[in-house]
Amino acid sequence: MLDHYTTPGSSVELRDDQTIYSLLADRLDRTGADTVIAEKKLGPGRWANVTTGEFHRMVLSAARGLIALGIGKGDAVTIFSSTRLEWGVLDFALAAIGAVSVPIYDTDSASQAERIMNDADVKLAIADDRTRFDRLDSVKDHCPTLKQILMIEGNALGALEGLGVTVSDEELDERIASVHIDDLATIVYTSGSTGTPKGVELTHRNFVSVTIAASEALHEMITDDHPRLLLFLPLAHCFARFIQYASIASDDGVVGYLPDTKSLLPDLRSFEPTYLLGVPRVFEKVYNAASHKAGAGWKGRLFLRAAEAARDWSRKEQAGEKHTLSEIAEHAKYETLVYRTVRGALGPKIKYVACGGAPLSLDLAHFYNGIGLPMIQGYGMTETAAPFAATRVHDNVIGTVGQPAPGSSVRIAEDGELQVKGPNVFRGYHNLPEKTAEAFTADGWLRTGDLASIDDEGRITITGRIKDIIITAGGKNVSPIPLEEEIAKCPIVEHAVVVGDQRPFIGALVTLDPEALAVWLPAHGLSLDTPIDRLATNAAVRDEIQEYVDRANATVSRAESVRKFVVLDERLTQENKCLTPSLKVVRPAVNRVFADVIDKEIYTGKR
């Protein structure tokens, strides 16, 4: 095992005038007449193609309008919207003129938006619809720097175009030329899984460098052979924003904007992506949907056998072992009966799936890999403009998050913490110099807060978080994530959260997955109408979960094992503050919201 690794750097030298906007301008010079964007229109399977030239014209039109509104270089502008074409237009327009974009998650409340806008001194806010416009309007009087709110569905882009006619070509060109690679591009507020969100200051260099590095390291997925990406993750998240830039920066990539996922599977089939970016929950839903469609009869049993065979096939490939003739024949049979259909649910041209934002279960990664869809897994933080490391198409070791991006370095500190350094590492937290100082070591490495190891090829394995370490009353240090991942493999479990800090033993809170229950309940003689509070105490439900708790316990010592678990009668959601907008579990919030359950149902009595 290594304690330090640097991936050979990209051969591309960045220029002072390279910016987020220049990624689009360079694409225009290469392929201005080709399609770069696909926008979903009303009606199933209807997509409107937008050429690079048309998209660029929309960007410059919005940029002129922003200048006419008085938005100067360095001024902060909020985008409060779902993922859509206009988000991309405004993002590039703000980058072009050197304004600072301050995205807000489309699920955020009025009070959350107020806090962000005041912290960043936002001058202009743009919401997509009436609901979000009203949220901003309700707090406008409490935001002294906020001068105006525009609404996309109220023709905001048209209004900007009208205003922009007063701005000359010379003035626009002068503003574009004034923007440099180390200028501040955006302030992104962390989703807050470990505390109050902080404003992460990211420069044009941060995003341009990671876009170029990723395109080099994952060219098979991002740039080669007419790539198509359907983007539905929130663009307020750096993960989605980076991949938008990478797609637009490629020679012929097409990005489709999908405002919501209500009809995700039909939209995937009609758009025909070649690769798909998601968080673990997305891929769990696809798997569960396939299982649900198979049902509980012979088709359901066939699916389960095929799924296990796919995982075995992947594990054997990962171990470098050859498949037997019978395994090859079985795989070919399941390819015809099952695998082709599952892949087809993601679109007829799908080649790769990429996952980040949270840990993905090994079983699920092996399943996708085994059915012929390499699961590229990545690791990063808002502070690294999202991706810092990723597995490669031809070096996709499941269980790791791959090597750092070209030109970046990682090391393991004495306490086991993963520390990183590279051109995509942020410059600091907005208005928080002390927090910024705490984030870096004396010699300039970013402290990630994650525990990890590095193998001899530089591949990183994340093993936990320093702040998540639970110390029992007996002094035993326990990393909860491996236990949670094992319990969450249970088909009816949506989330598992291990508890036990300063307690006599380790316990767990478990929530049920409604979609999986729709299949599981009838198969076990239970009504779909059974109330969730009754399911939480049902013997069959508990026995099913106990099997996976036992599996988790088999991987640790008794002092680290889960002695008692409680099935909650409600889910973890963004509304109860237990999930971030990127669907990460907020551990402190779970401990707070369910404090009575933890005290009275887990730690009452002795175990």
Identity of residue 9: G
Identity of residue 59: V
Phi, psi of 563, rounded to the nearest 5 degrees: -85, -25
The CA distance from 294 to 334, in Å, is 13
The pLDDT of 236-261, averaged and rounded, is 93
C-alpha torsion sign, points 263, 264, 265, 270: positive
What tokens does 601 get?
């149902």
Q: Point out which residues pair with 497 in neighbouring strands.
A: 509
The pLDDT of 126-147, averaged and rounded, is 97
Question: pLDDT category, 607, cuts 50, 70, 90?
Answer: very low
The CA distance from 497 to 591, in Å, is 9
Query: Percent of the chain at pLDDT above 90?
Result: 73
In CATH, 20-179+226-273 is 3.90.1150.10? no
Q: Is residue 385 helix, strand or coil?
A: coil
pLDDT of 606 > 60? The answer is no
The pLDDT of 474-493, averaged and rounded, is 87
Query: Which of 139-143, 172-176, 277-281, 396-400 shows the lowest mean pLDDT across its residues?
Result: 277-281
pLDDT in tens, 308-321: 999 999 999 999 99
Can you give the pLDDT at residue 392? 95
The pLDDT of 365-375, averaged and rounded, is 94
Query: Which of 140-149, 190-199, 399-408 shows the lowest mean pLDDT across its residues?
Result: 190-199
SS (HEC) of 406-440: CCCEEEECCCCEEEEECCCCCCEECCCHHHHHHHE
What tokens does 392 get?
């490669």
What is the bridge-based pairing of β-strands 470-471 and 477-478?
antiparallel
The CA distance from 444 to 427, in Å, is 11
Question: pLDDT category, 556, cuts 50, 70, 90?
Answer: confident
Side-by-side strand order, sheet with 122-127? 148-151, 122-127, 76-80, 100-104, 184-189, 199-203, 428-429
Q: Count other C-beta atoms under 10 Å from residue 23's C-beta.
A: 24
The CA distance from 215 to 407, in Å, is 13
Can you give the pLDDT at residue 286? 83
pLDDT in tens, 316-336: 999 999 999 999 999 999 999
- 537, 601 Cβ separation under 8 angstroms: no
The pLDDT of 72-86, averaged and rounded, is 97
What is the CATH class of 280-466?
A: alpha beta
Query: Percent of the chain at pLDDT above 70?
Result: 98
Question: pLDDT category, 170, cuts 50, 70, 90?
Answer: very high
Region label for 195, one of left (φ > 0), alpha (ψ between -120 and 50) or beta (otherwise): left
Identity of residue 350: I
Query: Which of 102-111, 351-360, 423-432, 449-458 shows the lowest mean pLDDT across its residues?
Result: 351-360
pLDDT in tens, 1-22: 789 999 987 656 899 999 999 9
Q: Which CATH number fits domain 469-602: 3.20.20.70, 3.30.300.30, 1.10.150.120, 3.20.140.10?
A: 3.30.300.30
- 492, 545 Cβ separation under 8 angstroms: yes
User: Residue 260 is inside which H or E element, if any?
Assistant: none
The pLDDT of 152-173, averaged and rounded, is 97
Can you give the pLDDT at residue 255? 96
- 437, 497 Cβ separation under 8 angstroms: no
| Per-chain mean pLDDT for the chain | 92
Q: Is residue 158 helix, strand or coil?
A: helix
Residues 6+ apart with CB under 8 A from 482: 463, 464, 552, 555, 556
pLDDT of 337 > 60? The answer is yes
Identity of residue 295: G
Domain 20-179+226-273 and domain 280-466 have a common topology: yes
Q: Structural domain boundaries of the chain?
A: 20-179+226-273, 280-466, 469-602
pLDDT in tens, 559-583: 889 999 999 999 999 888 898 877 7
Can you give the pLDDT at residue 375? 92
Can you give the pLDDT at residue 398? 94
pLDDT of 192 > 60? The answer is no
Query: Which of 17-31, 98-112, 468-482 shows the lowest mean pLDDT across its residues?
Result: 468-482
First to last CA, the chain: 39
**Which residue is associated with the tokens 């010592």?**
557
**Which residue is associated with the tokens 């990890």?**
452
The CA distance from 2 to 76, in Å, is 42
Phi, psi of 6, rounded to the nearest 5 degrees: -125, 125
pLDDT in tens, 228-238: 999 998 999 89
Query: Which of 105-109, 405-409, 544-548, 578-582 shows the lowest mean pLDDT across its residues?
Result: 578-582
pLDDT of 194 > 60? The answer is no
The CA distance from 114 to 121, in Å, is 10
The CA distance from 88 to 243, in Å, is 12
pLDDT in tens, 19-63: 999 999 999 999 889 999 999 886 667 899 999 999 999 999 999
pLDDT of 523 > 80? The answer is yes
Identity of residue 471: I
20, 389, 75, 410: which is closest to 203 by C-alpha? 20
Cβ neighbourhood burial of 146 (10 Å; 0-12, 13-18, 19+): buried
User: Residue 17 is inside which H or E element, if any?
Assistant: none
